[in-house]
Amino acid sequence: MKQRNPVHLDAPHADMVGNRHALRSQRTRELLLDTMYRLALEKDYRDITVQELLERTGVARSTFYAHFRDKEDLLVAGYESIGVPPTKVCEVSGDRRVLLDVSSWLFAATERHAELTTSFFSSPSQGVILAHLENILIIQVREHYQKQGLYDSQGLRGEVVVRCFVGALIGLWLWWVRHDYPSSAKEMTEAFDSLMNNGTWPAAG
């Protein structure tokens, strides 16, 4: 009697099990992130403990550490959950360029989560949180410049461009957050891109 091949019979079942596991894993991550955000509206980020997150969510300690190294890793995952900045094609000084739409990505996401952002950046822990955001932006911008052939890893100029761009973006963004969002995310994006991507300075006088 010919023996059946168990691989083909079990593959659909294995896919279903894998999908259920992935969905359960995603729900756990989202639950932990949501709980951390809620706690951040109540207290300083430094005062939030892993134990408190576990008690609030009912997630087992082993499960938490299967997903995250510590609460700072959870914070980084929160930034990553916003997604990756898209690219757009623009004409700059007559040249066609592929630009990373990171300013729109940052301002729009902040506008959607303004209360949480204000809480984070009004707390004593803002330095820790800002350092993670800056690092994520630097990595994104550097990788984009590398893909476009605009970054020389052997020289200084590529890294100078990355740091200047990210520094300008964070500086303007922090001013916007700390002044309680005086303009819309769209207006902030357009103003930043006009200068940093197109080199258009305000008219004198």
Collect all residues with Cβ–Cβ distance below 8 Å to 144 and sequence separation of at least 6: 87, 100
H-helix or E-strand spanning residue 1 = none
**Would you call 99 helix, strand, or coil by DSSP?**
strand
Q: Is the pLDDT of residue 15 over 80?
A: no
Whole-model pTM? 0.77
**Band of residue 13 on the pLDDT scale cut at 50, 70, 90:** low
- Tell me which of 61 and 123 has the higher pLDDT: 61
Sign of the CA dihedral with 182 first, then 195, 103, and 70 last:
negative
User: Tokens 């930034």 map to which residue?
Assistant: 79
Cβ atoms of 39 and 33 closer than 8 Å: no
CA proximity to 181, closest of 113, 133, 83: 113
CATH class of 6-69: mainly alpha
Per-residue model confidence as pLDDT tens digits over 161-187: 899 999 999 999 999 999 999 999 999
Dihedral angle sign, alpha carbons of residues 155, 148, 176, 31 = negative
33-51 pLDDT, tens digit each: 999 999 988 999 889 999 9
How far is residue 177's CA from residue 103's CA, in Å, rounded to a whole number? 14
Residues of the chain with CATH 1.10.10: 6-69
Q: Smallest Cα–Cα separation from 106: which of 97, 117, 121, 93? A: 117
